[in-house]
Amino acid sequence: MSHVRLAPQPDDLHAVRIAAGGADLLLACDPVVAASPRRCHGSTANDAGVLNSNVKPTAAFIFNQEIDFEAARMLQAIKAAACDADLVDATGLAAALMGDSIAANLFMLGYAFQKGLCR
């Protein structure tokens, strides 16, 4: 989990971390992590969200390939934590546009910025 703070002036930033329930935007780059109870369910609703619809296996998948990631339920839990969430295949779009899915996280931040979600 990462905290990203944006502000018009550096003096507007007062802390490195964002308190639980204090985010204006949820960027769920990795739905498996974002849907975990500690990250998603324990906080109050955010104003907006951008969710990566592409679910990738975690390290636990190596030991148990029968894991059902229940992607639809995970994405629904994340959407419940964000009042207004967009579902985007950031991994697929980044791979198509940039030639590598590693650009998915930056793609999501740019998507949110262009939609005016970064305040």
DSSP string, 17-53: S--TT--SEEEESSHHHHTSTTTTTTSPPEEEEEEE-
Q: What's the whole-number mean pLDDT along residues 33-43? A: 57
Residue at 4 is within a domain: no
The packing angle between helices 104-114 and 90-98, to 10°, is 100
Residue at 79 is within a domain: yes
Residue 7 has pLDDT above 90, yes or no: no
Domain that holds residue 42: 25-57+65-114
Q: What is the mean pLDDT of the chain?
A: 76
* Positive/negative CA dihedral, 4, 101, 74, 38: negative
The total number of structural domains that make up the chain: 1
